[in-house]
Copies of this chain bind each other. A is one copy, B any other.
């Protein structure tokens, strides 16, 4: 679980600490954590941690678990998160595509986006076949570089940025089937040429994932569409069909999104056509 770097900003130490607490609580899961655990985990004085946690509690971002001395993330955070999801408009624009792909293929379809050093599951749609995945529910996240969607996104990020991310995530990779930074770098090179990412059981045995990046007119990358299925279901012939399907839907999505985003993009190299 790579944590976002905190060092650069000045003048907001308290804020950094509070967010650190929220992130740790997020990792803690359903049972939450004790204040002292959080204080330890974030290297804070108990008194400081207590003050921050109390404040977050007053705002509803954290709540106490009745009958225990533990706290967990609160519903106000949940509500804010829901607004964040709507806010991007990205999900709304892509949802019809997810529905169509799931209906046509019968497989699970995911909409993934980048958040810092991670790949976040923004939306998902189940087809007839439901299988195990790493990010699971909407809102789940894994380090960028793990999984085909994250690799597809990395591949089309500016090279320097991609390398920085991979370096930052390197230690986190080990937890995923002994992935290494070099593996990711190699994979990304292929993906850049192919235009899509295919994981044929490398990440989860027996599960194949096909991801295609959603690129915008200004060459930035909005996210990726992913189809997951059991490897047995992905025969070479089917792959072609799926790629076409993905391409078609991404064209639709670009039509919906670009008018928003492109308004006077940076006066840089604009890809011809």
Which A residues fall within an 8 A CB radius of B? Answer: 4-6, 8-9, 11-12, 14-16, 18-19, 22-23, 25-26, 29-30, 32, 51-52, 54-56, 58-61, 65-68, 72-89, 113-116, 118, 120, 122, 137-141, 218, 220, 261-266
Instruction: Check if B84 sits within 8 Å of A12, measured CB to CB.
Output: no
Q: A4-B58, A60-B116, A66-B261 are in contact. Are A87 and B29 (CB under 8 A)?
A: yes
Of B25, B75, B266, the contact of A120 (CB 8 Å cutoff):
B75
Instruction: Check if B82 sits within 8 Å of A138, measured CB to CB.
Output: yes
Q: A9-B58, A89-B30 are in contact. Are A73 and B67 (CB under 8 A)?
A: no
Instruction: Return chain B residues, CB-CB under 8 Å to A60.
Output: 4, 115-116
Instruction: Return chain B residues, CB-CB under 8 Å to A138.
Output: 82
SS of A interface (majority)? mixed
Instruction: Return chain B residues, CB-CB under 8 Å to A8.
Output: 58
Q: How long is the Cα–Cα vector from A272 to B250 in the complex, in angstroms?
A: 60
Separation in Å of the A216 CB from the closest CB of chain B? 8
Instruction: Return chain B residues, CB-CB under 8 Å to A12.
Output: 14, 18, 51-52, 54-55
Of B23, B66, B83, B263, the contact of A26 (CB 8 Å cutoff):
B83
